[in-house]
Amino acid sequence: MEIILLVAIGIIAGFLGALLGIGGGSIIVPILVTFLHYPMHTAVAIGLLTIVATSVSVAHVNILKGLVNLELSLILEFLTVIASIVGGFIGNKLDNNTLQIIFGIILSIISLIYIKESIRPKIESNIIKDKNSFFYDEYYDFDLKKYVGYSPINIIKTMIVSIMAGTFSGMLGIGGGILKVPAMNLLSKIPIKVAIATSNYMIGITAASGSIPYIIHGKISPAASIYMIVGVIFGSKVALIKFDKIKDKKLKILFGLFLIFVSLNMLYKGLMR
Amino acid sequence: MKGYELKQKISKIYRFATKITIYAAVLITIVSFILDIFDIKLSVITKLEWIILSMLIATPFLGIIVAIFYYYTHKNTRILLSALGIIIFITAVLIKGYIS
């Protein structure tokens, strides 16, 4: 019965994640801990592995479309990978309750950022185009029907955000795209489509790195991870093929509030035990 | 588009890994479900699960290794060092974990 339950939860998480633009980890970890009473560390490890699976399954299309800035991502990932592994080791050292409390606080903040981003009007930031820039790249925009060139700036600032996201990723089993995408778009002036695709590519590397400490400490449940991966990939594919991405602000805010409720519930449980 | 040749190679690796992972994971899930009904436990299933997960985790790093060769031939030192740094760090963590 547990197999069906895990696949079903994976489908729901993948479906909601793809439609609402929030990573699966933010949904999977609290559900596993709150409803299926999984230990926090196992839930975090499962969250990380599903993130790797979704990232890998989407990245190959984005890379071919030229939406991933490989050079920028490799530069940003050097310190982010280290941060993620350090985060993973810290997560393993912390006890269940402390990790639950930290997760509750961070997920509340992420949910608030998600609500704010949902409300913020989507204005494309001014793209800087300098062909001599080290990170200059271009992609073919199918909506504009032309090649769009861009040169990322403020790399250090984006790197700091990326390191922060990496630490949380390894420690809490979340992707951190909610932090990386606005940073790339607003700080580095990267077009939003490239920011989303590059962040998704980077998240796969970060989550794969973050999962290593959990493997070393034997905190991974391979069976549960496989069932969840099947569900998440299936759910996200169905959502992306059959439905359009939800743009309704009210629904996004409602979902953000639901995430805050879940995170506060985790915080409460962590404090009360 | 910059580095299109590299992007094609990485994309191929990712596509291949996705296909294998999805098919293998679905198959394992179905077999596990059937075995669960008859209350049978096979250690080979756990081994297969580990193989799938290891392959999945290795995919992003395989992409980076391909990038290392590309940037080495194209003499892009900054990216080469960063990519090498990632792989060396991961290898060191894995070796340390294996020893301890």
| A81: confidence class by pLDDT, cuts 50, 70, 90 | very high
The single-letter DSSP state of residue B37 is H
A124-138, A184-198, A216-230, B80-94: lowest mean pLDDT where? A124-138
Radius of gyration of chain B (CA): 18
- The boundaries of the domain holding residue B21 are 3-99
Could you give phi then psi for residue A131, rounded to 5 degrees? -65, -15
How much of chain A exceeds pLDDT 70, in percent?
A: 95
**Averaged pLDDT for residues A40-45:** 93
| pLDDT at residue A263 greater than cutoff 90 | no
Are the beta carbons of A80 and A144 closer than 8 angstroms? no
Are the beta carbons of A207 and A169 closer than 8 angstroms? yes
- Kindly list the residues from chain A whose CB atom is less than 8 angstroms away from the CB atom of residue B42: none
The single-letter DSSP state of residue A243 is S
Q: What is the pLDDT of residues A166-223, one digit of tens each?
A: 999 999 888 888 888 888 888 898 988 899 899 989 999 999 999 999 999 999 999 9
CA–CA dist B4, A63 (Å, integer): 9
Quote the pLDDT of residue A261: 84
Domain limits of chain A?
A: 1-272
**Averaged pLDDT for residues B9-13:** 94
Distance of residue B26 Cα from the nearest chain A Cα, in angstroms: 6
| pLDDT at residue A246 greater than cutoff 70 | no
| Partners of A140 in the β-ladder | A147
Indicate yes or no: CB of A64 within 8 angstroms of CB of B11.
yes
How high is the ipTM of this complex?
Answer: 0.92
Indicate yes or no: CB of A64 within 8 angstroms of CB of B50.
no
| pLDDT at residue B56 greater than cutoff 80 | yes
Interface test with A, best of B23, B48, B66, B79 (most A CBs within 10 A): B79
Indicate yes or no: CB of A70 within 8 angstroms of CB of B3.
yes
Indicate yes or no: CB of A233 within 8 angstroms of CB of B22.
yes
Q: What is the pLDDT of residues B22-44, one digit of tens each?
A: 999 999 999 999 999 998 888 99
**Averaged pLDDT for residues B3-17:** 92
What is the CA angle A45-A49-A54, rounded to 5? 145
Quote the pLDDT of residue A130: 81
CA–CA dist A165, A183 (Å, integer): 11
Domain count for chain B: 1
What mean pLDDT value characterizes chain A? 87
Phi-psi region of A254 (alpha: psi -120 to 50; beta: other; left: phi over 0): alpha
For chain B, give the longest Cα–Cα distance. 59
pTM for this structure? 0.90
Quote the pLDDT of residue A124: 61
CA–CA dist A258, A221 (Å, integer): 27
In the numeric block, which tokens belong to residue A217? Answer: 């400490």
Distance of residue B57 Cα from the nearest chain A Cα, in angstroms: 5
Name which residue leads in pLDDT, A245 or A12.
A12
